[in-house]
Chain A
Amino acid sequence: MTTLTDKDKAIVKALWGKISKSADAIGADALGRMLTVYPQTKTYFSHWPDLSPGSGPVKAHGKKVMSGVALAVSKIDDITSGLLELSELHAFKLRVDPANFKILSHCILVVIANLYPKDFNPESHASLDKFLASLSLALSDKYR
């Protein structure tokens, strides 16, 4: 289990403060990139009429994903408990292979680097990467 230091938490909260107003756009862009760069992830969305970047379903779902990230930021002191319901959803209903959390995390990092190059320095990158890893672990907590 990745332990977030006080420094990590402070960095994540500060960065989130800066980027949260663009959360919907970040989510849409990250999801669109994931479907393009890792086409195997499209298998989870065969029920969508349109999987192209910028489409209605992609934008809506990107927004949903980022609200999960926002929740994790607000519960940063105990992400596992904070994401309990979402973990049950992913475990019993969605059954997304946890390898894909790493893939989406990478795409989120790419988008943040792309939109906020000055803020996304190596230290911020390290803390955010740890945070997303903790989030992913919490999300797969109820899998087995």
Chain B
Amino acid sequence: MVEWTDFERDTIQDIFSKMDYEAVGPAALSRCLVVYPWTQRYFGNFGNLYNAAAIIDNPMVAKHGITILHGLDRAVKNMDNIKETYAELSVLHSEKLHVDPDNFRLLADCLTIVVAARWGKAFTGDVQAAFQKFLTVVVFSLGRQYH
């Protein structure tokens, strides 16, 4: 089981209580699709992804970004049980969506960068460490049921 310090728990709760889901979700997903274009393979039915501007303006990308970000809420509320919390979602991503789990790590890195851009000075090294530790556990849990 993952051990969390009080600082780490407080930091995660703080980040998500201040989270602007409608801005951050779309920003993180669109950034991932631009910076790592091979991730577009999972979004063939999302319409125009031809260039960065199209991706950033794409309403389906925006909507899905918000969905994904809210998907993290479960982990925020169950920090002591993240692996079990995401067991079903892991199976879904493996057996139905066929997503290479390395993509979760790429999206997590983009999310870190979007949050870093919005938080300014408050995004200290310690805050970054807590956030990345949280995302690492989420990423691991999402890939856990692949076989």
Contact = CB atoms under 8 A, between A and B. Distances in A.
Instruction: Give chain A's interface secondary structure class.
Output: helix
Contacts of B132: 37
B128 A36 contact: yes
A122 B117 contact: no
Contacts of B31: 122, 125
A113 B116 contact: yes
Instruction: Give chain B's interface secondary structure class.
Output: helix
- Report the interface size class on chain A: 20 to 34
A117 B24 CA distance: 13
Nearest to B131: A37
Nearest to A39: B129
Nearest to B34: A122
Interface residues of B, number: 22
B119 interface: yes
A111 B119 CA distance: 11
Contact of A125 (B34, B119, B126): B34
Q: Which of A32, A35, A120, A125 has the most CB of B within 10 A?
A: A125
Interface of B: 30-31, 34-35, 52, 55-56, 109, 112-114, 116-120, 123, 125-126, 128-129, 132
25 contacts: A29-B125, A33-B125, A36-B126, A36-B128, A37-B129, A106-B109, A109-B113, A110-B112, A110-B128, A111-B116, A113-B113, A113-B116, A113-B117, A114-B123, A117-B118, A117-B120, A120-B113, A120-B117, A122-B30, A122-B31, A122-B34, A122-B55, A125-B34, A125-B113, A126-B52
Interface of A: 29, 32-33, 35-37, 53, 106, 109-111, 113-114, 117, 120-123, 125-126, 129
